[in-house]
Structure 1
Amino acid sequence: MFKKIMNKKLLKNQKGLTLIELLAVIVILAIIAAIAIPAIGNIIENSRYNAAKSDAINVINAANLYFTDEGSKDGEEVDFKTLKTNKYLDNAGKFEDKDAEGIVKKVAGGNTLSGKVKYSGEKTVNFNAATITVINDDKQKGSAPGDKDIPKK
């Protein structure tokens, strides 16, 4: 008899989630997901864009070594394939893609890179006689729509 009374009291004190509470939690999670997913996508796009800029700086630095070793004069040019063949560059990153282009020109004020590379899907970044300083000073976001130009037109 005592057991039956205790069981009834315990059952009355038990609480669980109602359907409305469960739906409220699901709606809150959906709102958080709707905000977080595009933000994560933008972070990934910006990272890919910054990686392409980093690859460009690596190509310019490898060209600096090439020009120094070869005793090149102002106005001479070298492409990333030559840099890789002559072992000045181990990996050209995005510049190794089949559609990528890139020429580094020796200039007294700082060697310049001219070319283009895809960094995400069909998005490209165009380097128009860009120096390392110009590339580092670029504040464009890779997640913004359209192709990017460095320096910005």
Structure 2
Amino acid sequence: MFKKLVNKKRLNNEKGLTLIELLAVIVILAIIAAIAIPAIGNIIENTRYNAVKADAINVLNAANLYFTDEPDKTEVTVKTLLDEKYLDTAGKIPEGNTNKVTKEKFNTLTTSAIVYTNSKTVTFDGATIDSINGDKQKGSKESNKTIPSAPSSSGTSN
């Protein structure tokens, strides 16, 4: 019986949040959101940039298979790789005739500017798999990027 009285008394003394406490919580959540939203936007842009780089690596790998089957060829377009089923999808890499892989010591990819988010673009200019993997640029930084071929290691360094 005594427990029931204590519990009833405890229920009667409970109060909800005051308006000031509720406003404080809302302000804290707004501050956290103001910090988090730009960071999430940068993560999304970096991910889109990395997705285009992954598409480029897929094109280069498909070209490796193509050049293995066609050793007399020295160049192949992305459209040819798609038409001849060496590549299921080129992702963000356009099928145009200017987007091609050239057979050299290492296969190199050359493309026109590829939009990966809003007005930000990336261009592959004789890029190899190593140069794409070695690229340290962030997708959320400067707007137009170019991934060139890897620098040769035959030069002298001081």
Give the TM bin, normalised by the shorter chain. 0.7 to 0.9
Pairs within 5 Å for 1:1-150: 13-72=13-72, 76-96=74-94, 101-108=98-105, 110-115=106-111, 116-150=113-147
Change in Cα spacing, 1:62 to 1:10, as seen in structure 2 (3 Å) is: closer
1:72 positional shift: 2.8
Runs of 4+ off more than 3 Å = 9-12
- Say what the alpha-carbon RMSD is for the aligned residues: 2.4
Whether the 8 Å CA contact 1:101–1:117 is kept in 2: the answer is no
Structure 2: distance between partners of 1:28 and 1:44: 25
Structure 2: distance between partners of 1:92 and 1:12: 67
Structure 1 unaligned blocks of 5 or more: 1-5
1:36 positional shift: 1.0
Q: Which has the higher relative contact order, 1 or 2, with Cα contacts under 8 A spaced 6 or more apart?
A: 1
**Percent identical residues:** 65
Structure 1: distance between partners of 2:21 and 2:95: 52
Structure 2: distance between partners of 1:81 and 1:107: 20
1:96 positional shift: 3.8
Structure 2: distance between partners of 1:97 and 1:61: 16
Q: Residue type of the partner of 1:42?
A: N
Structure 2: distance between partners of 1:126 and 1:103: 12
Whether the 8 Å CA contact 2:109–2:128 is kept in 1: the answer is yes
1:16 positional shift: 2.0
Whether the 8 Å CA contact 1:134–1:150 is kept in 2: the answer is yes
**Equivalent position SS for 2:99:** strand
| Alignment size in residue pairs | 143
Structure 2 unaligned blocks of 5 or more: 1-5, 150-158
**TM-score, length basis structure 1:** 0.84
Q: Residue type of the partner of 1:34?
A: A
**TM-score, length basis structure 2:** 0.81
